[in-house]
């Protein structure tokens, strides 16, 4: 069954523009490769169908019922309740008895100075409503110290601190019962150093009486503070001292004298209040004392607090499983079942853009290619099943990009699956291929003039000799053609027309003299001579009637009783298309 384009001029042309490549194979199968952009668009169409169907099923079925059945709703409720109980997040209770984050990213957000608003009551009198009672840094401090001395010490969901012993083994520190417990000193030191940014003190500094040291050193606080206004300067907070003047880790850090003076001065109060607010939380850069503790409390980074993080990871796993369940059947449908069942290995995207998969010899792909070739594409798209969602997306995009780059850079524009199975993706509208090698041989036996081995006609030989001659008129003619050319396609069409006119002129014996001919006209392939318009052979006798059918009419079997006026090229030159 030869399948071909309309018209012999287009059949023997060789358009090179826009990534297209015309390949004339042995036995004169005419295969015009589909441009890689058409192949890419076909893949994107299939991917779009896949994504749309997956999203619809995931949003309406698997993301609700399946995740709930796996325990996702319970894990989400426990996770949000834990975050609410820490007091470190901006959350509220819902009408259904659950919890949710308020507007924003979930972190507490305060202004540098106290805030209030004025409204009118039902009697028309103005009332002042305080929306923020304290300065912002004080509210952040209260939330942090309340969590550390309350929830963290009392709630069983919180994981106690641990430290390394002399042998390098990790041991759990005893959970203190309160700030008065001697064991709280280890917890207070961890809080001050990890979240408040205070320095780690040496044994000498811990044994120093700082009240006595302050009598002779004005900058004594610099040794006890850090993460402040810069290197060599006193920070915002320092360690607290007990009555004797020694550092006491069980007491909360206090403001340095420089911070207290800056806050108490009317000229610098607002500036210091704003600076301290940024010291606790700067939302623009995502850092600060409060920010570090809030992330630590729910298990981010190296935090041992696993309660929130375990449920968060479990919900993500459930969502990934639900997405895989919605994705898998449509991946199988669009990228395996459809190309395996359709002739010429077409997917929906290929069918829409009218491109097909055939063997490079110019015959239709067999069951092996139809069943195995789509597996290569499925294997690439199955990388989405890697448990880690971001890792799977990264590998998927990388593999698809490499396959696309291979198709662009390969001299024949072949992908991995094409090289494995010896196939080629063609433009079904302008290509000619056969059901089998036997059919191709029968067809060419009835059409010997189609064979590449057919001798050239005298007219073709004469035209070829003339095109090899270069003179000034030829050069000028080619310059003029190049100047007028608007596109490669238009140029090739014009060359086909001139080629046909000159062949007819040679046959009619009216060929103009060499100097009158615009030489430099490119032939198409030069391999196959054009059909003589004055052939005396009966078309019905020259056509093969062994099951050849025309593109666009699969039911039309050639039986040998064609119209007497039909051209011998009718089977060969019908427009290709999708079945």
Quickly state the pLDDT bin for 223 (edges 50, 70, 90): confident
- Are 151 and 276 within one domain? yes
Quickly state the pLDDT bin for 66 (edges 50, 70, 90): very high
Contact 242, 206 (CB under 8 A): no
Asked if residue 351 belongs to a domain, the reply is yes
DSSP 263-312: HHSTTTHHHHHHHHHHHH-BTTTTBSHHHHHHHHHTT-TT----HHHHHH
Element (H, E) at 394: helix 389-409
Boundary-marking domain end, from 411, 437, 463: 437
Give per-residue burial for 216-242: e unless 16+ CB within 10 Å, then b: eeeebbbbbbbebbeeeebbbbbbbbe
Q: Report helix, strand or coil for 208.
A: coil
- Are 361 and 497 within one domain? no
In this predicted structure, the answer to whether residue 20 has a pLDDT above a threshold of 80 is: no
Contact 3, 554 (CB under 8 A): no
Determine the average pLDDT of the residues in 188-216. Answer: 91
- Are 142 and 238 within one domain? yes
- Are 135 and 275 within one domain? yes
In this predicted structure, the answer to whether residue 460 has a pLDDT above a threshold of 70 is: no
Nearest to 33 by CA among 548, 436, 433, 349: 433
Determine the average pLDDT of the residues in 258-282. Answer: 93
Per-residue pLDDT at 468: 57
Quickly state the pLDDT bin for 452 (edges 50, 70, 90): low
Boundary-marking domain end, from 491, 509, 527: 527
How many whole angstroms separate alpha carbon 402 and alpha carbon 575?
Answer: 34
Quickly state the pLDDT bin for 337 (edges 50, 70, 90): very high
CA distances to 106, 194, 449, 530 from 26, rounded to whole Å, are 69, 76, 13, 17
* pLDDT tens digits, 67-109: 999 999 999 999 999 999 999 999 999 888 889 998 778 999 9
Determine the average pLDDT of the residues in 540-551. Answer: 37
Q: Directed axis angle between helix 389-409 and helix 36-57, to 10°?
A: 160
The residue assigned the tokens 């100075």 is 113
Asked if residue 544 belongs to a domain, the reply is no
Asked if residue 369 belongs to a domain, the reply is yes
Per-residue pLDDT at 171: 83
In this predicted structure, the answer to whether residue 485 has a pLDDT above a threshold of 90 is: no
Determine the average pLDDT of the residues in 364-372. Answer: 92
Note the Cα 211 to chain centre separation in Å: 62
- Are 363 and 463 within one domain? no
Boundary-marking domain end, from 280, 314, 343: 280
Phi, psi (5° rounding) for residue 488? Answer: -65, -40
Quickly state the pLDDT bin for 331 (edges 50, 70, 90): very high
Q: What length does the chain have?
A: 579
Asked if residue 468 belongs to a domain, the reply is yes
Asked if residue 543 belongs to a domain, the reply is no
Per-residue pLDDT at 562: 37
- Are 145 and 234 within one domain? yes
Asked if residue 570 belongs to a domain, the reply is no
Q: Of 349 and 221, which is predicted with more confidence?
A: 349
How many whole angstroms separate alpha carbon 249 and alpha carbon 201?
Answer: 11
The pair of structure tokens assigned to 424 is 């080629």
Which of 35-44, 208-217, 458-467, 537-546 is predicted with the least confidence, judged by mean pLDDT? 537-546
Determine the average pLDDT of the residues in 508-522. Answer: 45
How many whole angstroms separate alpha carbon 425 and alpha carbon 413?
Answer: 9
Contacts of 209 (CB under 8 A, 6+ apart): 244, 245, 246
How many whole angstroms separate alpha carbon 444 and alpha carbon 408?
Answer: 34
Claim: this prediction has a pTM higher than 0.75: no
- Are 389 and 419 within one domain? yes
Contacts of 531 (CB under 8 A, 6+ apart): 8, 449, 567, 568, 569
Contact 431, 363 (CB under 8 A): no
- Are 187 and 241 within one domain? yes
Total count of domains within the chain: 3
- Are 425 and 351 within one domain? yes
The pair of structure tokens assigned to 470 is 């270069």
How many whole angstroms separate alpha carbon 130 and alpha carbon 118?
Answer: 9
Q: Of 436 and 451, which is predicted with more confidence?
A: 436
- Are 32 and 170 within one domain? no
- Are 428 and 466 within one domain? no
* pLDDT tens digits, 392-409: 888 889 998 998 898 888
Per-residue pLDDT at 103: 76
Per-residue pLDDT at 24: 35
Asked if residue 287 belongs to a domain, the reply is no
Per-residue pLDDT at 511: 47
CA distances to 126, 338, 346, 400 from 371, rounded to whole Å, are 79, 10, 12, 21
Cβ neighbours around 343 below 10 Å, total: 15
Asked if residue 276 belongs to a domain, the reply is yes
- Are 519 and 470 within one domain? yes
**Domain, as residue range, for 178:** 130-280
């Amino acid at each position: 069954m030869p399948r071909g384009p309309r018209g012999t001029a287009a059949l023997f042309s060789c358009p090179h523009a826009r990534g297209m490549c015309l390949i004339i194979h042995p036995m004169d199968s005419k295969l015009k490769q589909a441009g890689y952009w058409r192949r890419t668009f076909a893949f994107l169409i299939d991917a779009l169908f896949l994504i749309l169907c997956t999203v619809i099923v995931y949003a309406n079925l698997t993301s609700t019922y399946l995740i709930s059945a796996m325990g996702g709703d319970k894990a989400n409720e426990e996770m949000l309740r834990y975050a609410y109980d820490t007091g470190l997040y901006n959350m509220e209770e819902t009408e259904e008895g659950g919890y949710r984050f308020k507007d924003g990213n979930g972190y507490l957000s305060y202004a540098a100075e106290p805030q209030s608003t004025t409204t009118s009551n039902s009697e028309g009198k103005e009332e002042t409503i305080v929306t923020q009672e304290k300065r912002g840094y004080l509210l952040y401090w209260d939330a942090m110290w309340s969590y550390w001395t309350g929830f963290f010490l009392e709630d069983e969901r919180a994981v106690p601190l641990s430290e390394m012993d002399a042998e390098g083994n990790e041991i759990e520190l005893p959970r203190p019962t309160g700030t008065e417990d001697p064991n709280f000193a280890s917890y207070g030191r961890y809080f001050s150093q990890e979240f408040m940014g205070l320095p780690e003190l040496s044994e000498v500094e811990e044994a120093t009486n700082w009240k006595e040291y302050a009598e002779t050193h004005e900058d004594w606080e610099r040794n006890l503070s850090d993460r402040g206004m810069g290197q060599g300067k006193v920070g915002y907070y320092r360690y607290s001292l007990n009555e004797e003047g020694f550092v006491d880790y069980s007491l909360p850090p206090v403001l340095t004298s420089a911070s207290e003076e800056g806050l108490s001065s009317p000229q610098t109060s607002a500036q210091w209040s704003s600076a301290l607010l940024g010291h606790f939380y700067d939302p623009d850069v995502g850092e600060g004392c409060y920010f570090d503790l809030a992330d630590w409390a729910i298990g981010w980074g190296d935090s041992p607090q696993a309660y929130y993080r375990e449920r968060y990871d479990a919900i993500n796993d459930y969502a990934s499983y639900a997405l895989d369940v919605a994705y898998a059947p449509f991946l199988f449908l669009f990228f395996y079942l459809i190309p395996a069942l359709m002739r010429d290995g077409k997917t929906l995207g290929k069918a829409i853009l009218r491109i097909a998969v055939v063997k490079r010899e110019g015959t239709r792909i067999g069951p092996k290619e139809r069943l195995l070739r789509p597996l290569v594409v499925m294997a690439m798209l199955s990388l989405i099943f890697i448990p880690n969602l971001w890792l799977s997306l990264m590998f998927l995009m990388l593999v698809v990009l490499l396959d696309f780059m291979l198709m662009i850079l390969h001299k024949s524009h072949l992908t991995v699956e094409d090289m494995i199975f010896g196939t080629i993706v063609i433009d079904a509208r302008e290509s000619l291929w056969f059901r089998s090698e036997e059919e191709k041989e029968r067809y060419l036996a009835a059409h010997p003039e189609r064979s590449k081995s057919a001798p050239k006609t005298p007219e073709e030989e004469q035209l070829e000799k003339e095109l090899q001659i270069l003179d000034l008129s030829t050069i000028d003619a080619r310059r003029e053609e190049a100047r007028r050319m608007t596109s490669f396609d238009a140029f090739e069409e014009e060359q086909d027309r001139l080629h046909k006119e000159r062949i007819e002129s040679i046959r009619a014996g009216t060929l103009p003299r060499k100097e009158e001919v615009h030489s430099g006209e490119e032939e198409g392939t030069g391999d196959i001579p054009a059909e003589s318009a004055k052939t005396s052979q009966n078309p019905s006798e020259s056509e093969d009637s062994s099951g050849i059918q025309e593109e666009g009419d699969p039911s039309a079997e050639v039986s040998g009783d064609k119209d007497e006026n039909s051209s011998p090229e009718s089977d060969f030159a019908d427009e290709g298309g999708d079945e």
